[in-house]
Amino acid sequence: MSTPDPAGTDPEESTGGTASAVAADEPAPQAPEGGPADPPEAPSGASGAEQDQVERDASAEPSEEGGEEADRPEPADGGTGGDADAGGGRAGRAGEEPGADAPGGGDPEDRDAGDGEAGSGGRSGGAGAEGASGSALDFVPSPVFLLVLAVTGIAGWFSWNRTELELGWTDGGSVYAPFVFIIGGWIVSVAVHEFAHTLVAYLAGDRGLRGSGYLRLNPFAYRERRITASGERGGGVFTGLVLPVLFVVIGGLGIPGPASHTDREAIGGRGRRMLAPLAGIVASLVLAVLLAAAVTVLLPAGSVTDNWFIGGLMFLCFLNLTAALVNLLPVPGMDGYGILVPLLEAATASPRRFEGMERVARGFGLFGVIAVFGVLWLPDVQLVYLNEITGLFQAIGMPQMDVLYGDVLMRFWAS
């Protein structure tokens, strides 16, 4: 058996040639079609053991798979070396496509599945990530909101002039304009309440609802949102619109649905987390004050009226005042609970355990709101509550506020 060339190079190549010497009694393998598959180049100055290894590799039986293996060490001149990423090639490809497999990449649906705004207006991204193509139009009131305002205004004008009586549109003595006026005004009030929640949350870091119905004052476009960090789902037309309207129609009580559409994890700081739920209470209270001021201008203290429009304003003032006061209750689903949670979280000895318990309690938010309504709907409780509200109006110098008159106008079928 002959020994390999000590230099480990091919005499026909000046430098870096392949070790092609083989034993005399071992025939050299035939090169496959399309060119020989040279073994990997042996570094200059390699030891004898390394040269023997190169010889054994060169003497191996060539196969289609082996040919591919032999091609792998060849320099990648920008070719198709698809399998070259089996070793370090994938790292290079990851460098060419940054973020392709990054932990934060993921499915866009997981990043903001509940929002559903990625395909509308070119927005995508998870909770707390602002859409790249957002514009000032994302905060412009929706045409639907303007339509609701217009219908409410027309119904209010009909109520002020008793147009139904003049035109003979009454059905067995029932009138419908006050009902439309009050329901339309309550829908506008709910939209403002939820807008306040969402706007403060947006300014505090939750960018996931930009351009949504919540920020465009369109409760008919409320949609369920999946909070990525916790996997919870919240919001939607049912909790944001249908439920509050049902509370008014069935029980004459102004209670908004649970504000579960904001992502608390995206809001930094306990103070900001408290401000987001507090904003809805403040918005309802401001609306109640404005409506009370309008009633005072139209109906001086000590006066009595049978005007449908003024009666509707009284009842809308009552609904918004109820929305502000009842939401202070520390019950899951109410804004008062959202205000209290950051304080409890700061005082607890085990934040992680408290977070798990609080997440479970938050999951019962819808039932908490329904339970509060059910208690206030009880005749004895409702009577006590109405007496307290009437006493409050008298204490602030507004004895002319006749809540029951507005309730009769709105729920005409019960009178």
Please write the tens of the pLDDT for every residue from 257-272. Answer: 987 767 777 787 888 8
User: What's the helix, strand, coil split of the chain in %, to 5?
Assistant: 55, 0, 45
Cα 199 to Cα 84, 186, 216, 261: the distances in Å are 51, 20, 10, 12
Mean pLDDT of 21-45: 44
H or E element at residue 317: helix 308-326
348/273 Cα distance (integer angstroms): 17
The percentage of residues in the chain with a pLDDT greater than 70, rounded to a whole number, is: 64
For the residues 299-303, what does the mean pLDDT come to? 83
pLDDT at 281 exceeding the cut of 90: yes
Q: What is the pLDDT of residues 120-156, one digit of tens each?
A: 333 333 434 444 356 778 889 999 999 999 999 999 9
pLDDT of residue 265: 74
How many other CB atoms sit within 10 Å of the CB of residue 3? 11
265 within 8 A of 375, measured Cβ to Cβ: no
Average pLDDT, integer, range 371-396: 93
Answer with the residue of higher pLDDT: 398 or 46. Answer: 398
Residue 388 to residue 318: CA distance in whole angstroms? 12
Distances in Å between the alpha carbon of 140 and those of 122, 152, 243, 267? 17, 20, 25, 23
Pull the structure tokens for residue 308. 């449908």
- Residue 18: what pLDDT? 37
3-state secondary structure 154-202: HHHHHHHHCHHHHHCCCECCECCHHHHHHHHHHHHHHHHHHHHHHHHHH
The per-residue pLDDT for 231 is 60
Distances from the Cα of 272 to the Cα of 126, 176, 194, 266, 281, angstroms: 19, 43, 16, 10, 15
Q: Residue 81 pLDDT > 50, yes or no?
A: no
Backbone angles phi, psi at 233, to 5 degrees: -125, 140
Q: Which residue has better confidence, 92 or 343?
A: 343
The crossing angle, in degrees rounded to 10, of helices 308-326 and 143-161 is 130
* Least confident interval from 162-166, 181-185, 240-244, 269-273: 162-166
- Residue 76 is predicted with a pLDDT of 39
Segment 116-122 shows an average pLDDT of 37
For 130, counting Cβ atoms within 10 Å of its Cβ (0-12 exposed, 13-18 middle, 19+ buried), the class is middle
Judge whether residue 401 has pLDDT over 50: yes
Distance (Å, rounded) from C-alpha 259 to C-alpha 388?
26
**From the centroid of its chain, how far is CA 373?**
26
**Is 131 in contact with 122 (CB distance < 8 Å)?**
yes
Under a CB-based contact definition with an 8 Å cutoff, are residues 229 and 120 in contact? no
More confident residue, 328 or 59: 328
- Give tens-digit pLDDT for 171-211: 666 788 999 999 999 999 999 999 999 999 999 888 888 88
- pLDDT tens for residues 217-233? 999 999 887 766 556 67
What confidence tier does 347 reach under pLDDT thresholds 50, 70, 90? confident
In order of 71, 240, 270, the CA distances from 282 in angstroms are: 72, 18, 18
Q: What pLDDT sits at residue 415?
A: 61
Lowest mean pLDDT among 1-15, 47-61, 365-379: 1-15
The predicted structure's pLDDT at residue 133:
52
Kindly tell me if the per-residue pLDDT of 297 is higher than 80.
yes
Mean pLDDT, all residues of the chain? 73
Q: In terms of pLDDT, which residue wins out, 127 or 309? A: 309
Say which residue, 356 or 275, is predicted with more confidence: 275
Query: Could you tell me where the DSSP H helices lie in 204-237?
Result: 237
Return the structure tokens found at 7: 């230099």
Strand partners, 234: 225
pLDDT number for residue 328? 95
In the chain, the percentage of residues whose pLDDT exceeds 90 is 38
Measure the CA–CA gap between 254 and 323, rounded to whole angstroms. 5
Q: Do 32 and 67 form a contact (C-beta atoms < 8 A)?
A: yes
Q: Of 218, 188, 150, 200, give the one whose Cα is nearest residue 320.
A: 188
Higher-pLDDT residue of 209 and 296 is 296
The DSSP element (H or E) to which 322 belongs, if any, is: helix 308-326
The pLDDT value given to residue 359:
77
- pTM comes to 0.67
